[in-house]
Chains A and B, each alone.
Chain A
Amino acid sequence: MKKSLFDVETPSGHEDRVLSAVAGELAARREKTRASRRHWILGLLGGAGGLVAASYAGLLYFRGPGAGAAAEDDLFLAKEIEETDADLELLADVPLDEAEDFDRFLEDLELLEEEDV
């Protein structure tokens, strides 16, 4: 009985007027929620970005000595190629008959070696 005593029919249009009165505040709440979500996502992306950057930095750090060794290998190979080229140039300078003699010398040497065996 007490409850129904204070339960009164609202005037016509009451609900619409209340909804209109709170519309601005509800919109402000939604914007605040969206901004908070954006902030959270940006924070997450920033964290992920930081993690990737840290991982890459770590990779570079640990790859350092290996990379150095590869570079040394490259240097050695280049030097070898250079020396081979120089040998070929020297050989090209040797007169043909001498070169033939040299070939014969090598063949003789191989024969000797075979005989030794």
Chain B
Amino acid sequence: MSDRDDEALLRQIAKGDSKAFESLLRAHKRAVFGLAYHLTGSKMTAEDISQETWIRVVKNAESFKGESARAWILTIARNLSLNELRRGKWEAELPPEDEGRLVSDAFSFDELMQTESDLKRVQSALTRLPDRQRVALVLFLSEERTYAQIGAELELDVNAVKALLFRARENLKKMMAEAS
């Protein structure tokens, strides 16, 4: 579905069109749920966040003026997920010795995911990462945000974000090696 289609659907949703909402939901529900799930690490929390995301989409449909409806919807889901983490069990774990170990700028999941089964194992391993590592990784990969942007979300400096990403990759590799 194109951004223009999504925008037309949002205009209809602003008038209360249920069919338009169903179309938009079917097009993006997996991405919304997936992002919330990988950020929070909990399917139950992701379910709540997904519902809240879609309620906000309806409430704010008439004020949407962005380029991409999908990006707008995912931003709502991301912010709700981060708020949820901040409110509750945000894990503070960043040992000082790790701060000097920086992940390379060419960080990529491609080396971890060669097959379809690798994808499922990575998805599963992602949810088992500590909160900050997982959030940093999901933001980095799903939205291609810069270290500085991720740092602003997590209230960390750039080096600390790089260290988090490095540790996240190392932990994922270890988990996948154990699983295979």
A8 to chain B minimum Cβ distance, whole angstroms, is 3
Rounded to whole angstroms, the CA-CA distance of A111 and B15 in the bound complex is 98
Is B164 on the interface with A (CB-CB < 8 A)? Answer: no
Categorize the interface residue count of chain B: 35 or more
A26: which B residues are within 8 A, CB to CB?
13, 16-18, 21, 58
B59: which A residues are within 8 A, CB to CB?
25
Contact status B29-A21, CB under 8 Å: no
A31: which B residues are within 8 A, CB to CB?
16
Contact of B141 among A2, A14, A18, A19 (CB under 8 A): A2
Is A115 on the interface with B (CB-CB < 8 A)? Answer: no
A107 to chain B minimum Cβ distance, whole angstroms, is 95
A23: which B residues are within 8 A, CB to CB?
18
Rounded to whole angstroms, the CA-CA distance of A8 and B124 in the bound complex is 11
Is B178 on the interface with A (CB-CB < 8 A)? Answer: no
The answer to whether residues A11 and B47 also contact, given A2-B142, A18-B54 and a CB cut-off of 8 A, is: yes
Rounded to whole angstroms, the CA-CA distance of A6 and B33 in the bound complex is 8
A7: which B residues are within 8 A, CB to CB?
30-31, 34
Contact status B25-A8, CB under 8 Å: no
Is B113 on the interface with A (CB-CB < 8 A)? Answer: yes
Rounded to whole angstroms, the CA-CA distance of A88 and B25 in the bound complex is 98
Rounded to whole angstroms, the CA-CA distance of A15 and B33 in the bound complex is 11
Segment among B35-43, B84-92, B98-106 that sits at the interface with chain A: B35-43
Is B65 on the interface with A (CB-CB < 8 A)? Answer: no
Contact status A17-B34, CB under 8 Å: no
Contact status A11-B43, CB under 8 Å: yes
Contact status B58-A22, CB under 8 Å: yes
Is A9 on the interface with B (CB-CB < 8 A)? Answer: yes
Hey, which bits of chain B sit against chain A, CB under 8 A? 13-18, 21-22, 25-26, 29-31, 33-35, 37-38, 43, 47, 50-51, 54-55, 58-59, 109-110, 113, 119, 122-123, 126, 138, 141-142
Hey, which bits of chain A sit against chain B, CB under 8 A? 1-2, 4-11, 14-15, 17-19, 21-23, 25-33
